[in-house]
Amino acid sequence: MLRTVAANGRSKNNFKWPKRGKVVAPDWDPIAECGGGLHGALWGVGDGSLFDWSKDALWQVVRIDGDMVDLRGKIKIEKGYVVFTGSRQEATQKIRKLGAQGKPVIGNVESAGDNETVSGGDWSTISGGDNSTVSGGWRSIVSGGERSTLSGGGDSIVSGGDGSMLFGGDRSTVSGGSDSIVSGRDGSMLFGGKGSKVSGGESSILILQYYDDRSRSVTAYVGENGIEPNIFYRLNEKHEFEEVE
């Protein structure tokens, strides 16, 4: 499992974690409730808001040796063995090598080449080449080349090249090159290049580009001037927003 501790090696309940070696929960209780065990994310997959995102936080990979209880978004175990303590990037690489490759690991920092599929969990930084499929969780940074398919969770930054298909969760910033399909949920900022289609949830901002003697942008606000949520729009010949049928 993947987990974090403060720079002094202590968790929120002041339990001291070793940098390496055996660790046992002194208050083990198998009931399916928080507390009474050692907590983390199984294979690094779970709720990233439960992690310590301080710059000096330590990231740990722990082998599970005893009983485990699923708490939805995290697990707790009776005992284990700390196999690694270090930086976020080193820890996420370590757990992927141990068997989490291809899983949406929290905090994952990974890049892929053309025609590859790569994913990350919350707070990930994920990139792919042309024709790639790239996804990230909450507050992720996701990018891809031309003709890529990209998605991010809430508060994410998602960008792709020409001909890409992009999706962002609430309050995301999503941008695509020419001839892209760009969408986001409520409160998002959505950019599309020439020939693109954009759709946003409530209170989103839609920006589409066109070219004459230079690159120009037209902005629309969901909820104003007939622009409705979750409807795709493009620019017509007059460079006005029109609904895509």
pLDDT (tens digit per residue) in 50-94 = 999 999 999 999 999 989 999 999 999 999 999 999 999 999 999
- Whether the pLDDT of residue 144 is over 90: the answer is yes
Average pLDDT estimate for 86-115: 94
- Whether the pLDDT of residue 17 is over 90: the answer is yes
Which backbone phi and psi does 86 adopt, to 5 degrees? 180, -145
Q: How far apart are CA 173 and CA 202, in angstroms?
A: 14
Return the ∠ at Cα 153 (arms to 151 and 73), rounded to 5°: 125
Look at residues 56, 54, 55, 42 and name the one whose alpha carbon lies nearest to residue 3. Answer: 42
Predicted model pTM: 0.87
The pLDDT assigned to 32 comes to 94
Q: What does the mean pLDDT of the chain come to?
A: 96
CB 150 within 8 A of CB 164: yes
- Whether the pLDDT of residue 181 is over 90: the answer is yes
- The strand pair at 189-192 and 205-211 is best described as parallel
Average pLDDT estimate for 141-145: 96
62, β-bridge pairs = 82
Q: How far is CA 24 from CA 40, 110, 125, in A?
A: 14, 32, 33
- Whether the pLDDT of residue 12 is over 90: the answer is no
